[in-house]
Amino acid sequence: MAKILVVEDDKEISKLVHDYLCFEHHTVDVAYDGETALDCLKASHYDVVVLDWMIPGATGIEVCKQIRSWGGDTGVLMLTGKNEIAEKEVGLDAGADDYLTKPFHARELMARVRALLRRVGEKMTDNELKVGDVVLIPSAHKVMRGNQEIPLMKREFALLEFFIRHKGTIFDAEAILARVWPAESETSTEMVRTHIKNLRKKLDVEGQTSYIRTVHRVGYALQDPEKQSAS
């Protein structure tokens, strides 16, 4: 599961892309113009931006250049009706990682997004993610302990996947909110803490160290309780 921003002023296309990405369990925000896209990018962290070239306000090229000026490893897939080599060169030189010409097939777009996620290092398509005796299977949207499934709500699943992919890294509630929840959601940092509390109840085993460690006044980090017990 990744957090993805779709920037496309054609509402039919943006809905199509949004729906396909959500079907693959990604968290998806949509912006219809360049200025809104930049506001979203300032407020949240995105793994991939699906970015149309010709949008109102700041163009896709300008948005892409701004993303690169901020640094980070966000993948950028440029969508455009422009298919001349020179125009593709402009998009790639602006910092786009890939380029898809309209009209496109949704399945090709999804495949390119998956390739970008692998390229930026998040390995979003891993078959299994493990911590301790807990196994998270992104493709099936399941969390297992042995033969027993651990029932998680959608956002709990996203939170656990985020923690596993960044095991050992400490994030405060604001950072978690920016990376796991949609930008337009009304969720507060208190709701993030509530989700962490609920996730602990479902994951932790009595008498063992908690999977999610609280670092006082700093934030939260995932740990392997088996390794903690052995140390």
pTM assigned to the model: 0.71
**pLDDT: which is higher, 24 or 69:** 69
For 91-107, b/e burial (b = at least 16 CB within 10 A) is beebbbbbbbeeeeeee
**Percentage of residues in the chain with pLDDT exceeding 90?**
54
Q: Which sequence spans correspond to the domains of the chain?
A: 3-119, 129-230
Domain 129-230 adopts which CATH fold?
Arc Repressor Mutant, subunit A (1.10.10)
Tens-place pLDDT, residues 125-158? 567 888 889 999 887 889 999 889 999 998 999 9
pLDDT above 60 (res 11)? yes
pLDDT given at position 228: 62
Domain 3-119 adopts which CATH fold?
Rossmann fold (3.40.50)
pLDDT given at position 121: 58
Q: Do the domains at 3-119 and 129-230 have one common CATH topology?
A: no
